[in-house]
């Protein structure tokens, strides 16, 4: 079994990811949460605020002519949250802090990993890392694998 995305998987992920809002942006308040079904997985080349692609140079993301591209992974959730013309799609960037919370939920569910159709229940922003460190603390109530 392979985990590689096919071209069609990648195209569908990009289509689903367009317009998906991040529920955990810069101004997020502790206690903010989201629940929903995973409808797509997205891997994107990260860009800076001016739209220039970033590459790893000396272990730092920089605008450069060479280096490995900085790739971000994200889950697209379909939620019950709707506002105006919002379709309820939310983009969850899988940074180190988010991965820690989701991985713990997947292990508790005794699942082999995330899957399209799986559900994240109660993904919650707890707050910043204690002690003034860099990062955030998240918690996942439950991961429910898709029915087979």
DSSP 8-state assignment for residue 110: T
Q: Domain extents for the chain? A: 7-44+73-144
Structure tokens at 43: 């891997």
More confident residue, 130 or 86: 130
Q: In terms of C-beta density within 10 A (0-12 exposed, 13-18 middle, 19 or more buried), how is residue 65 classed?
A: exposed
Listed residue (138, 1, 148) closest to 75, CA to CA: 138
Checking if the pLDDT of 126 tops 80, the result is yes
pLDDT in tens, 17-59: 566 788 898 899 999 999 999 998 888 888 888 988 899 999 8
Backbone phi, psi, residue 131, to 5°: 85, 15
More confident residue, 87 or 121: 121
| pLDDT for the residue 63 | 93
| pLDDT for the residue 138 | 97
Per-residue pLDDT band at 3 (split at 50, 70, 90): very low
Q: In terms of C-beta density within 10 A (0-12 exposed, 13-18 middle, 19 or more buried), how is residue 80 classed?
A: exposed
| pLDDT for the residue 2 | 41
């Amino acid at each position: 079994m392979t985990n590689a995305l096919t071209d069609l998987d990648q195209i569908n992920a990009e289509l689903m990811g367009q317009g998906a809002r991040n529920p955990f942006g810069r101004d997020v308040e502790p206690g903010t949460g989201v629940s929903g079904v995973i409808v797509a997985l997205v891997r994107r080349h990260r860009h800076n605020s001016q739209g220039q692609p970033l590459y790893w140079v000396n272990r730092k993301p920089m605008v450069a002519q060479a280096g490995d591209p900085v790739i971000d992974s994200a889950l697209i959730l379909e939620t019950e949250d709707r506002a105006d013309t919002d379709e309820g799609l939310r983009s969850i960037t899988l940074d180190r802090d988010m991965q820690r919370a989701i991985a713990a939920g997947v292990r508790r569910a005794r699942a082999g990993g995330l899957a399209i159709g799986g559900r994240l229940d109660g993904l919650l922003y707890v707050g910043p890392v204690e002690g003034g460190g860099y990062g955030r603390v998240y918690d996942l109530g439950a991961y429910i694998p898709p029915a087979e």
